[in-house]
Amino acid sequence: MKLYLLAISTLLLGALTLSADEATTPVEAAAEAVAETATPKTEISMKDFSYSFGYEIFTGNKKYKLLLAPEKLLEGYSDGFAKKPMGVKQEELKAQHGAFMTHMQTEGEKDFQDEKGVLSYVTGYQIGKNFSANGIDELDKNEVLAGINDAKEGKEPRLNEGERKAVMEAMDAKAQAKAQAKAEAVKTESKKFLEENAKKEGVKVTESGLQYQVIKEGEGAKPKATDTVKVHYAGTLVDGTEFDSSYKRGEPISFPLNGVIKGWTEGLQLMPVGSKYRFFIPSDLGYGDRGAGSDIPGGAALIFDVELIEINPQK
């Protein structure tokens, strides 16, 4: 996991939907306790890490020809780390992202000047969000700026390449240990939830372990795995935290049914068009031990309310 490039690579791949987690849960508290025994007691200087981070994110972004605005980067980082709502509208982000991609295609050798700071802010926001989710302490912003400025001006860095690499790798190892501990704690809670949920009236369990509940039964055809479907949906963790919702975005989505998580591929084939089901998806039919981004931790069972609107069969 390259922490200093994670957010920018996500952004450039077009992942434009962002949301923030809420307060610390009992699972996170338990994960912290496990991590204390699982993580080596190696002290990592946040001053050195912040400087290395600043230096590396500037040089890393040069590969993409994106010239970040440092102040907007740090503003976004602060909001993401604090789990505040993102201070950039999706329309602004899409427009600036489109401008960047056009620039890359037509003038790829020139730096893209992020004058409005939109991409810089969102990059920082995603970094802050990921750092917070991975239990990484807050960056020293002055040191981040020092690292960026030294790289930008071609100065001799305070930490050489080997020292920066060691600091970054140590932080990666620490974050991964915490993430693994959290995944185990989440998996335990999810297993307990599913065991209890399977006993509830109206909940059916398939051979794979997928659980579902019929909210409304439609009368249309059922899709095949090779079909494209249009759905409305909302997804939450077992503690009720919502991580995604097409309803809130104001429009349904369409996708090939064999291109999503296993729980969706199996579950939607049970649904006639016009139906609305609630799925309770074990982690091995979801995102597994790795999770997805900073909103879905590894090992998490997922709950989806899904409304099947239409089927577009494969031609």
Q: Which residues are catalytic?
A: 233, 243-244, 261, 287, 304
Q: How far apart are CA 291 and CA 300, in angstroms?
A: 7
Place of tokens 């999706």: 90
- Tell me the residue type at 161: E
Give residue 114's region: left, alpha or beta (phi > 0; psi -120 to 50): beta
Which residue, 53, 50, 52, is CA-closest to 7?
53
Q: Which two tokens stand for residue 212?
A: 């579902």
Q: How far apart are CA 125 and CA 79, in angstroms?
A: 6
Which residue, 314, 218, 219, 223, is CA-closest to 267?
223
Q: How far apart are CA 300 and CA 281, in angstroms?
A: 9
Angle in degrees, CA 60, 70, 81, rounded to 5: 90
Burial 272-281 (b: 16+ CB within 10 A, else e): ebebbbbbbb
Q: How far apart are CA 218 and CA 91, in angstroms?
A: 35
CB contact set of 111 (below 8 Å; sequence gap of 6+): 62, 65, 66, 67
Which residue, 5, 115, 6, is CA-closest to 67?
115
Q: Which two tokens stand for residue 27?
A: 């699972």
Which residue, 81, 115, 85, is CA-closest to 100?
115
